[in-house]
Every structure is written in C-alpha cells, then in structure tokens.
Amino acid sequence: MAQLNFGGSLENVVTREEFSLEKAQDILQDEVIAIIGYGVQGPGQALNLRDNGFNVIVGQRYPSPTWDKAIADGWVPGETLFSIDEAAERGTIIQYLLSDAAQIAAWPQLKAKLTPGKALYFSHGFGITYKERTGIIPPADVDVILVAPKGSGTSLRRMFIAGRGLNSSYAIFQDATGKAFERVVALGIGIGSGYLFETTFQKEVYSDLTGERGTLMGCIQGIFAAQYEVLRSNGHSPSEAFNETVEELTQSLMPLVAENGMDWMYANCSTTAQRGALDWWKKFRDAVKPVFEDLYASVSSGNEAQLSIDSNSLPDYRSKLEVELKELRDSEMWQAGKTVRSLRPEAVKE
C-alpha cells in the first residue's frame, strides 16, 4: 500500500504495480468466488474475474432474464451457474451483488450460508451502513469487505476488454480471519480495478448516494433540462439546443477534462469561452451548493436510504419506474439526442 498526496491530503492507495494480478491469483487460489446476482455489477465483475483466472461461480434466480443472460455469457448450469442457495453454499467468498432491495429480501436465505471463515463482499455500503433499516447484520466470524468500482458494471467490463482499469474504493467492515485486507485487495485487482483507494462502508454509501443524486445523474439531468429549455424557449432548434447542451459536453469537452483536468480544458478553448466560464462557474457553484448541502443531510440522516427501501420494495416498483423513465425517454431533449447520436460519424453505414 502506498500513500499518495491528493491536493494536500494523504490517502492510502493500492496500485496494480505493487499488488500484481499474479499476487492476487496466488492469494485467492483456494477460494471459490460466488457472484450472487447478475444484474448491474454482477456480469462485469464475474466475467473479469473469470477472464483473470479466478474460480468463479454465479448464483441467480431461475427462471429469470438474468439467468438466461448468464447462460449467454458462458456460465453453465450445474457447473458454474447455480441457484442462489447452492452458489452461496459452495462459495468461500460471497459477492453480494443483488440490488439493495433484493439484498434485504434475500438476506435470511444468504445468512444461513455464511459459515465461519467465509468472506461477505459488497460493492455498495448501503446494506451494512443502514443495517438497522435493512436487517443485514453479518455473523461475527466472517470477513465483511467492499470493493466499489467508480462506474457501472458495463463500464468496468468495457474498460477491462480495452486493457484499462476502472478505479475502485475498498473497505473492511469486519476482519474475522486476519486475511480481510489481502482478500479485498486481491478481489479489487481481480475485477479489473485501475487502482484502489481506502474508504469505509459509511463514507462509500454517503458519497455514492450524493453522487448519484448529484453530478453523476440527478443534477446533470436537471442542468441539461434547464439549459435546453431556455435555449428552446428563445427560438433555438432542438438540434442546436441538444448539441450545445449535451453533445459538445459529452463528446468533446468531458474527454479532455478526463485526460487533463478542467484547467487544461479551459486553457485550450477559445478566449471567449475561457472568459465566460471563469466569470460564471462560481455563480453556478453558489446557486447549487445549498441544494447539495440539503442532499448530503438527507443522505447522512438515512432519509434517502429509507425512501429507496420503501419505494424499491413495492410490488409495482418496476412498472412505476418504467413510467418515469418513459417521461425522460419521450422528452423532446432526449428524442433530439437519439437523432443526433444516429448522425455521429461512427453510426454512418459505409
């Protein structure tokens, strides 16, 4: 483990240079990694671990669309694909990758399989941090660890195939065996992390819920919609409004920020753009910071967690979700986006 300086703050970081894949394989050579759930994070982590040479099995409900997806991805029923019960029975490391609501429902079933010395692995701190609300309280004789990729399972897999790594956080909630650190870091390297930075279950879920509702999804959609609507109300066409709001940001500017930072991107745009951006960014910060403060307070109080538990546990959750997603999908902005994306050069058929 190395200590790196992030803006004056020293943090514990593990890189692939100091903790090699070969070392991870050696540490986990006698382990059976059971991936429970094959939805958002499950496929990417399972496939990356398998391709990296680890002993991986998948536990999933049958029949279900995700069971069929697992078969399509090469998992074989009775050999590497099992029911949740049987996979959890066979696994020495159980990667609990069901949705938060599904984790609550399946917990009594899974807990029965947590025999002494096993490891219980999460990619989200929700179930443990809010254990009074979720009822997920692990036995004292198992390791409880976390690796949280900073992106979707799809991104994790795509970057792995491209030979790159997606950064992840790691945490240890309970070290029953004395091997929790080696186990969690080896798993983090095995799933294809670029580097691993230390956190806690609580900090992971607080930052994750804030980010999802903030700049990663909720806030960015709100900002997109506000600018698009102002441009449209002032006579700009859907194509122009979408290109100036979304397309230029995602296709041109954000890749530059990802590669070199916002300061570099500012320094390499027109002087008119520089001046405007420098004059306006603090106004936007001051306008939205109170909203973020309210958001963080709602997260840290447990209110956001309870809202998620209550909503996502309803029997008609998915049908209600589809109505909300349809509102986004059918909006003029994202219909314009669908057309704009079809016109990108890579979409042109030769």
State the Cα torsion 91-95-97-102 to the nearest 10°: 60
Cis peptide before 138 (omega within 30 of 0): no
DSSP-derived letter for residue 147 is E
Compute the radius of gyration of the chain from its Cα atoms: 22
Q: Do residues 60 and 70 lie in contact, with contact meaning Cβ atoms separated by under 8 Å?
A: yes
Helix (H, G, I), strand (E, B) or coil at 157: helix
Q: Is the Cβ–Cβ distance between 147 and 191 less than 8 Å?
A: yes
Q: Please write down the HEC assignment for all residues of 195-236.
A: EEEECCHHHHHHHHHHHHHCCCCHHHHHHHHHHHHHHHHCCC
Among the listed residues 50, 113, 124, 157, the single catalytic one is 124
What is the distance between the alpha carbons of residues 191 and 156, in angstroms, rounded to a whole number?
8
- Residues 119 and 190: their CA atoms lie apart, in Å, by 15
Question: Does residue 236 carry a catalytic annotation?
Answer: no
**What does the alpha-carbon distance between residue 5 and residue 308 come to, in Å, rounded to a whole number?**
36
Q: Torsion over CA of 69, 72, 74 and 76, rounded to 10 degrees?
A: 70
Written as six digits, the tokens of 265 are 């991107």
Residue numbers annotated as active site: 124
